[in-house]
Chains A and B, each alone.
Chain A
Amino acid sequence: MKAFETFEGVVAPLDRANVDTDQIIPKQFLKSIRRTGFGDNLFDGWRYLDEGIPGQTLNERQINHDFVLNYPDYQDAKILLARDNFGCGSSREHAVWAMLEYGFRVVIAPSFADIFYNNSFKNGLLPIVVDAETVDALFARTPGLSLEVDLVNQTLTPHGGQPIAFDIDSHRREALLQGLDEIGETLAYAERIREFEQRHRQSMPWVFARDGRGYNTAG
Chain B
Amino acid sequence: MNNTLYDKIWRDHCVTERADGTSLLYIDLQLLHEVTSPQAFDGLRLASRRPWRLSANLATPDHNVPTTGRAQGIDGISDLIAREQVTTLDANCRDFDIEQFDILDTRQGIVHVVGPEQGATLPGMTIVCGDSHTSTHGAFAALAQGIGTSEVEHVLATQTLAQRKARNFAVNVEGRLPDGVAPKDLVLAIIGVLGTAGATGHTIEFRGPAIEAMSMEGRMTVCNMAIEAGARAGLVAVDDTTLDYVRGRPFAPTGERWQQAEAYWRTLHSDPGAHFDSSITLDASTLVPQVSWGTSPEMVVGIDGTAPNPEQATTEQQAQGIRQALSYMGLAADQPITDIKLDRVFIGSCTNARIEDLRAAAAVARGRSVAANVKQAMVVPGSGLVKAQAEAEGLADVFKAAGFEWRDPGCSMCLAMNADRLQPGEHCAATSNRNFEGRQGHGGRTHLVSPAMAAAAAVTGHFTDVRGLV
Q: What residues make up the interface of A, taking CB atoms closer than 8 Å to B?
A: 16-18, 20, 22-23, 26-28, 30-35, 45, 51-52, 54-55, 83-85, 88-94, 96, 111, 113-115, 118-119, 122-123, 170-171, 174, 181-183, 185-187, 189-190, 192-193, 196-197, 200, 203-216, 218-219
> Whole-angstrom distance from the CB of A67 to the nearest CB of chain B?
13
Whether A118 pairs with B151 at a CB distance below 8 angstroms is: yes
Contact yes or no, A193 B149, CB < 8 A: no
- B81 engages A22 (CB within 8 Å): no
Can you list 17 pairs linking A and B with CB atoms under 8 Å apart?
A16-B324, A20-B296, A22-B438, A23-B436, A31-B81, A31-B85, A83-B317, A94-B149, A113-B230, A123-B150, A170-B20, A171-B18, A171-B22, A174-B20, A207-B28, A215-B52, A216-B53
Instruction: Give the docked Cα–Cα distance between A189 and B257 (Å).
Output: 30
> In the bound complex, do residue B442 and residue A114 qualify as a contact, i.e. CB atoms below 8 Å apart?
no
Nearest-CB residue, chain B, relative to A111: B197
Which residue from chain B places its CB closest to the CB of A211 in the assembled complex?
A: B55
**B32-40, B176-184, B371-379 - the one binding chain A:** B32-40
Q: Which of A23, A96, A215 has the most CB of B within 10 A?
A: A215
Interface magnitude class on chain B: 35 or more
Which of these, A55, A170, A208, contacts B55 with CB under 8 Å?
A208
Interface centre among B28, B49, B125, B436 (most CB of A within 10 A): B436
Q: Determine whether the beta carbon of A209 is less than 8 Å from that of B149.
A: no
Assess A206 versus B257: contact at CB under 8 Å? Given A93-B149, A171-B22, A187-B157. yes
Is there contact, CB below 8 Å, between A186 and B200? no
Inter-subunit contact A183/B230 (CB<8 Å): no
* Residues in chain A near residue B15, CB distance under 8 A: 189, 192-193, 196
Contacts of B148 in A (CB 8 A): 91-93, 96, 115, 118-119, 122
User: Are the CB atoms of A182 and B150 closer together than 8 Å?
Assistant: yes
Closest CB in chain B relative to A135 CB, distance in Å: 11
Contact of A33 (CB < 8 Å), options: B26, B52, B84, B99: B84
Residue contact B20 to A45, C-beta cutoff 8 Å: no
**Interface residue SS majority, chain B:** loop
The CA of A94 and the CA of B150, in the complex, are separated in Å by: 11
Cβ-defined contact, B264 with A204, below 8 A: yes
Q: Is the CB of A189 within 8 A of B18?
A: yes
**B321 interface residue, CB < 8 Å from A?**
yes
CA distance A18 to B317 in the complex (A): 11
> Which residues in A have their C-beta under 8 angstroms from that of B88?
33
Residues of A within 8 A of B18 (CB): 171, 185-186, 189
Asked if B434 and A193 make an inter-chain contact with CB atoms under 8 angstroms apart, the answer reads: no
- Residues in B neighbouring A20, C-beta threshold 8 A: 296, 434, 436
Is residue B351 contacting chain A, with contact meaning CB distance below 8 A? Answer: no
Known: A33-B88, A216-B50. A171 touches B196 (CB 8 A): no
In the complex, what distance in Å separates the CA atom of A18 from the CA atom of B320?
Answer: 12
List residues 243-264 of chain B with CB under 8 A from any CB of chain A.
251-253, 257-258, 260-261, 264
Q: Would you give the shortest CB distance from A178 to chain B, in whole angstroms?
A: 12
User: Which A-chain residue is minimally distant from B43 (CB atoms)?
Assistant: A183
Chain B residues closer than 8 Å to A203, beta-carbon distance: 264
Query: How many whole Å from A36's CB to the nearest CB in chain B?
Result: 10
Let me know if B151 and A122 touch, CB within 8 A: yes
Question: Chain B residues with Cβ under 8 A from A51's Cβ?
Answer: 424, 442-443
CB distance from B372 to the nearest CB of A (A): 28
**A213 adjacent to B415 (CB under 8 Å):** no
* A96→B149 CA distance, assembly (Å): 11
In the bound complex, residues from chain A placing their C-beta under 8 Å from that of B465 are none
